[in-house]
Structure 1
Amino acid sequence: MNKEFINLTKENLYDEHLCCIIRSRKPHKGIDAKRQWLLDRLDEGHVFRKLDEKATVFIEYAPLETAWVPIIGDNYYYVYCLWVTGPHKGKGYGKMLMEYCMADAREKGKSGICMLGAKKQKAWLSDQSFSKRFGFEAVDATEDGYELLALSFDGTVPEFARNVKKPAIESEELTVYYDMQCPYVCQSIERIRQYCEENDVPVSLIQVDTLQKAKELPCVFNNWGVFYKGRFQTVNLLDAAGLKRILKK
């Protein structure tokens, strides 16, 4: 197998496929927003590495200090996504991408790598059983079952911000925190907005548009977080069925 990988740069960002499942030759609001979000992150050391073809085979990570997640730690990388889907599964690409991230971290003298996980595997989170084969371990947890997984090179570990440990907000209405990192976010927000308008459901849609806002969020976050009746519900993007299940609680 002689497949080549490439890293996105300012020079190739607008020419390369972003590796999510979206397939469209027409302008796509979510993809355009993702490209802009990435453009603003690349100077911060953000890495998006992908198979050099139109496929869902990629890893995306950043220095924890500039990663848009409410996690605290020094000198770590944070892995947002590691995806291999469809006919490309089972060919060793995930292993190659993780090993690239690990080698990059060691070369840059990082203390380790961390990522969001959960005691029970959840959709829209990378396969934690896969990461644990590389030595990742749970180093922190929330009361509702989410875990911070870390591979430490020097014995130090990151932790969730204090505001994440018992996720709750004062508002009782449906509340969604989101940023523009994921191309699916735009359509998910529009779907929720439309459903709530048609069914007279009060909703607050709060865009996380700065690093500070991301670090101060009241819940675990990988680009999306949902509250209802003051309680945290999920990091999963919502379709109509998922939204209805939450509103019945």
Structure 2
Amino acid sequence: MSAKYVNLTAENIANEHLCCIIRTRTLHPGIENKRKWLMERINEGHVFRKLDEKATVFIEYAPLETAWVPIVGNNYYYVYCLWVLGNYKGQGHSRALMEYCLADAKEKGKSGICMLGSKKQKAWLSDQSFAKRFGFEVVDTTSNGYELLALSLDGTMPKFAPSAQKEEIENKDLTIYYDMQCPYIHQNIESIQQFCEKNDIPISLIQVNTLEQAKELPCVFNNYAVFYNGHFETVNLLDANYLKRILKK
């Protein structure tokens, strides 16, 4: 396959397409929030590699030590997203992007690569069946079915932080933890907030602003996490129908 890819850098990030399918001719708050968040991560070794076109074809990963997730391990990469959509599917882009990540890990002497999965595939998580075909295996689990997948290069394994296994908080209101890593989060939070105001549903929105805060979250997290009645529900971004199902529990 002959395709040109580009990595975002401090020099090109202001002008590069960020691969989401939000279509707008004007500045979009979610996209610009993502751009700002990425700009602050690049010097930490965060990698955003994309097809050099206006397309949803990219991989995003970072050193586990600076990845905003409650996962611990030494010298791993953490894959936030591997996404290929539309007419670009079936052209080998997913394999090419994952092979780049693996080659990068080997070149830098990393112990391996890991990512968040689930016993039942979640809409907002990368395709774990593809990852398993690539050699990833389940190395840790939570009580409600989330899994940590890892491809080890030296026999060591990462694991969920102890806090991620709690899956309980004191607040009984609908509670959403989120950061600005995904361009869709801004509009999703606005939409859910409007729905809750209209229907008199108490809600607590907690923005995760630091690495330390992310590493100590009381649940698994890829940029978004939902609690209700004090119990962890999902990492999927909510829509009105999904929220109604949660509120009926």
TM-score, length of structure 2 as denominator length: 0.99
Match of 1:231 in 2: 231
Alignment deviations for residues 59-79 of structure 1 (CA, whole Å, 9 cap, x no partner):
000000000000000000000
Match of 1:242 in 2: 242
Distance 2:21 2:235 in 1: 19
Instruction: Say what the alpha-carbon RMSD is for the aligned residues.
Output: 0.7
Q: How far off is 1:25 after superposition?
A: 1.5
Q: Which amino acid aligns with 2:206?
A: I
Match of 2:88 in 1: 88
Q: Write out aligned runs for 1:113-124 (5 A).
A: 113-124=113-124
Q: Which amino acid aligns with 2:104?
A: D
Distance 2:54 2:147 in 1: 32
Q: Which amino acid aligns with 1:114?
A: C
Alignment deviations for residues 79-132 of structure 1 (CA, whole Å, 9 cap, x no partner):
000000100000000000000000000000000000000111111111111001
Q: How far off is 1:163 after superposition?
A: 1.2
Match of 1:42 in 2: 42
Give runs of ≥4 in structure 1 deviating > 4 Å.
none
Distance 2:24 2:201 in 1: 32
Match of 2:130 in 1: 130
Alignment deviations for residues 129-157 of structure 1 (CA, whole Å, 9 cap, x no partner):
10011110000000000000000000000
Q: How far off is 1:24 after superposition?
A: 1.4
Give me the identity figure in percent: 72
Q: Write out aligned runs for 1:54-93 (5 A).
A: 54-93=54-93
Report the secondary structure of 2:43's partner residue: helix
Distance 1:242 1:104 in 2: 38
Q: How far off is 1:48 after superposition?
A: 0.1
Report the secondary structure of 1:98's partner residue: helix
Report the secondary structure of 2:42's partner residue: helix
Distance 2:4 2:223 in 1: 28
Q: Which amino acid aligns with 2:153?
A: F
Question: Which segments of 5 or more consecutive residues in structure 1 lack a partner in the other structure?
Answer: none
Q: How far off is 1:14 after superposition?
A: 1.2
Question: Which segments of 5 or more consecutive residues in structure 2 lack a partner in the other structure?
Answer: none
Alignment deviations for residues 160-185 of structure 1 (CA, whole Å, 9 cap, x no partner):
01111231111110000000000000
The 8 Å contact of residues 143 and 166 in structure 1, kept in 2 or not, is answered as no
Decide which moves more: 18-27 or 66-75. Answer: 18-27
Decide which moves more: 158-167 or 75-84. Answer: 158-167
Report the secondary structure of 1:34's partner residue: helix
Q: Which amino acid aligns with 1:212?
A: E
Report the secondary structure of 2:227's partner residue: strand
Q: Which amino acid aligns with 2:30?
A: G
The 8 Å contact of residues 49 and 60 in structure 1, kept in 2 or not, is answered as yes
